[in-house]
Amino acid sequence: MTAARFRRARLLVCALALALVAASCGDDDTTDDEGSGGTDGGGGTTEETTAEDDDAGSPTPGGSIVIGLEAESAGWIPSQSSFGTAGPSVAAAIYDQLVAVNAEGEFEAFLAESIEPNDDLTEWTLTLRPDVVFHDGTPLDAEAVVWNFDELHSAEASLTAGAINAAGVESVEATDDMTVVYRLREPNAAFPDLLTGPVGYIVSPTAFQEQGEDDFNRSPVGAGPFMVEEPWQPDGEFVLQRNPDYWGTDDEGNQLPYLDEITFRPIPDEDARVSSLLSDTAQIVHSSRGYAGQQLLDASESGGYETNVAIGNISGTSIFNVLVPPLDDIRVRQGMSLASNADEIATVLGDEISPPSSQFVSVDSPWYSTTAEEAYIGAGGQDLDRARELIEEYMNDPERSDGKAVGERLSVDYQCPPEPSLLQVAQILDSWWEQIGVDLNMNQVEQPTLITNVVGSADNDPPWSGNYGVSCWRTGATGDPYTTLAGYFTEGNPSNVTNFTDPGITEALERLRTSADFEDRYQANEDINVIANENAVIVWNIATPSTTGWRDDIHGVTGWTMPSGGEGTGTLNNRIWVHQIWMEQ
C-alpha cells in the first residue's frame, strides 16, 4: 500500500477544428488511431488515488466480483429508464456507448469507430466498427442504430425524446451498412454529447422485438463487454457474465473483458456499502458522500484496499424557483446566497474531500472561469450583515412580491430527501437564513417526488414551472456545457429547474451552439455563468466527490484506456467502467 498521492489531471484547452475532428489534442506523445473522431467535451476532474496500477503486472483473465452501487435503477431500456448516478455503470457494461469523453475532455468514438461533422455542424456522420455483434449474435450495424433511434428514442413516451429535440435532430439515416448520418435542424457543436448517454446505448432490435418490452427490461441484450446471466430483479442482484464475442481488446491485443462475472448489488445505505467492502461481500463500492469517501480513504491507509477520489463537475446546491415569491426578487436570492458558507457545510458533514464550488464545472475543467467565480456573490465568504441588509430591504418594501405586510419576516418552502447528510445541510442553512429574517418550511420528500416537484408536471401551471420554492439539488455540466446550460436556461424546458431566463444567456447559448472555435465557446460559457451568478439563481455549496474503493488485488478500476489508446476518465461521476477490470489469480 502506498501513501496517498494526488494526480491532478489538468485538461487541455483544445480547439474544435472541423477539418481535424479525428485528430487528438493533448500534452503527451500519444495520438488517436486513425478515424477515432473526437471533439471537445466537458470533462474535468481532480483525482486523489492510493492505487499504483503501474506496478500491478500483466492482467490475468478470470474471476468474479461484486460491485456495490449507491442506488437501484428503474430499468434497463435506455429510452425508458432513469439510470441515476449508479445506472450508467451497469448500462455501459451491457450496451457500451457510441461516444465517450476522454481524460482531456474531448468527445471520442467508443463503440463507434468515428464521428465527424460537416462544415456547418448540421450533419454528423457516425461510422460503426466492423464485425460488432450483439449478445444474441445479430449484427450491430447502421440499420440497428437507426431502428433504436426511430422505434425507441423518438417514441412519444420516450424519456430521451426531449434530449433528441434539444440536440436538434430532424432525421437519422443509414447511408450504408456501417454509416449513420444525423441531420440537424440547426448547427450544434455539442451534438456528440447526445451519444454519450442513453441514446448512445444500442439495444438489439431482434431481441427487443422477440422478447417484448417487459422481458427485455429484465434481460437486456446489447453489445457491451458483459451479458445477462440471470434476469434482473429490482432491488436485487444483477448478475452479468463475460461476453465471449466482445469487440474490444487491450493494448497487447488480448481479448476483453478480463473478468468472467460481475454482480451489481444496490446498497443504498452509505455505511452499509462501505462495510460491504470491508467485509468482502463486495469488492468494489462507490459513494457521492464526502464522509463515506473519507471512510474509504481511511480503509486504504490501513492497508488491503485502494481508493480513488474524483472531484468532477457535479456540486451540491440549493436551487431557487424564481417564479415563486419572494424568490422572484434578486435581493432575497442574493441575501440567502450571502448567508451560506460552503466551508462550514463541509466541516459539519465531516467532509475533508470536497472543495467549494461556484459554477457548473470544477476548477480543473477547461471551461472553468475565474470571472464567473468572482461574479458569484457567495464566493467571498459568508457575510450575514450584508445578507440581512438585503433581506430587510425587501422586507420593508411596500411593493414586496410575497404580499405580506411591510416588516414581516419572509417564509420560504425548502424540500430535500430524508438522507442524513442532506438534512444536515438543510438544517445549517435553516439556521443561517433564520438569522437574516427568512423562515424555512422544511419538507422531507423522497427523491422521485422531489424531482417531479422541481421539473414540473401536468398539475402545475404552466407544467414546467415546478412545485417548490427552494430545493436541494445536484448541479453541474458533465458533458459539453451547451447540453446542460441550454436545458437550465431555456424557457419551458423541464431541465430549467430554476425557471430563470435572460436575453444575454439566450444570446450566449446561440454562440455556444453554433461556434466550432473553443475560445468563442469558452467566452459564451463564461457569459452564461456570470449572468446566472449575478442573478443568484443557485446557492453553490461544495463539489460532489466520486469516491471509489476496491480490494487491492483488483486492478484496472482507474487506469483504463479508450479504444484509441488514450486515457479514460477513471471513476469520474461515480461511473465504474468494467471492461478492463481484472483481479490477481
* Lowest mean pLDDT across 389-403, 452-466, 551-565: 452-466
Q: Pick the range with the lowest mean pLDDT from 12-16, 69-73, 222-226, 295-299.
A: 12-16
Contact 556, 59 (CB under 8 A): yes
State the amino acid at position 579 in one-letter form: H
Q: Say if residue 257 is preceded by a cis peptide, omega within 30 of 0.
A: yes
The larger pLDDT score, comparing residue 278 to residue 155, is at 278
Cell of 75: 430499468
pLDDT confidence tier of residue 15, bands split at 50, 70 and 90: very low
Domains 5-304+552-583 and 313-543 share a fold: no
Residue 455's pLDDT is what? 87
Which stretch of 15-24, 174-183, 231-240, 273-282 has the lowest confidence by average pLDDT?
15-24
- The residues that bridge with 179 in the sheet, in sequence order, are 127, 176
- Structure confidence by residue, pLDDT tens digits, 487-525: 899 988 888 999 999 999 999 999 999 998 999 999 999
From CA 263, how far away is CA 276, in angstroms rounded? Answer: 13
pLDDT at residue 28 in the model: 35
Q: What's the confidence (pLDDT) of residue 511?
A: 96
Q: How far apart are the first and last CA of the chain?
A: 19
The SS3 of residue 87 is: helix
- Average pLDDT, rounded, for the chain: 89
Q: Is 63 helix (H, G, I), strand (E, B) or coil?
A: coil
Q: What is the pLDDT of residue 48?
A: 59
Instruction: For 432-478, write each residue's pLDDT tens digit.
Output: 999 999 999 999 999 889 988 998 877 878 887 889 999 999 899 87
Q: For residue 559, which of 549, 571, 542 has the smallest C-alpha distance? A: 571
Just give the CATH number of 313-543: 3.10.105.10
Nearest-angstrom CA–CA distance, 64 and 388: 58
- Please name the amino acid found at residue 201: Y
Q: pLDDT for 251-308, tens place per residue?
A: 999 999 999 999 999 999 999 999 999 999 999 999 988 889 999 999 999 999 999 9
Q: Which residue in 321, 346, 278 sits closest to 538, CA to CA? A: 321
User: Using CA of residue 179, residue 182, residue 183, residue 187, what is the dihedral sign?
Assistant: negative
CATH number of 5-304+552-583: 3.40.190.10
Task: Kindly give the pairing relationship between strand 410-416 and strand 261-266.
Answer: unpaired
Per domain, the residue ranges of the chain are 5-304+552-583, 313-543
Q: Which residue has the higher pLDDT, 148 or 572?
A: 148
Using the predicted structure, report yes or no on whether residue 214 has a pLDDT greater than 60: yes
Asked if residue 573 lies in contact with residue 312, where contact means CB atoms within 8 angstroms, the answer is yes
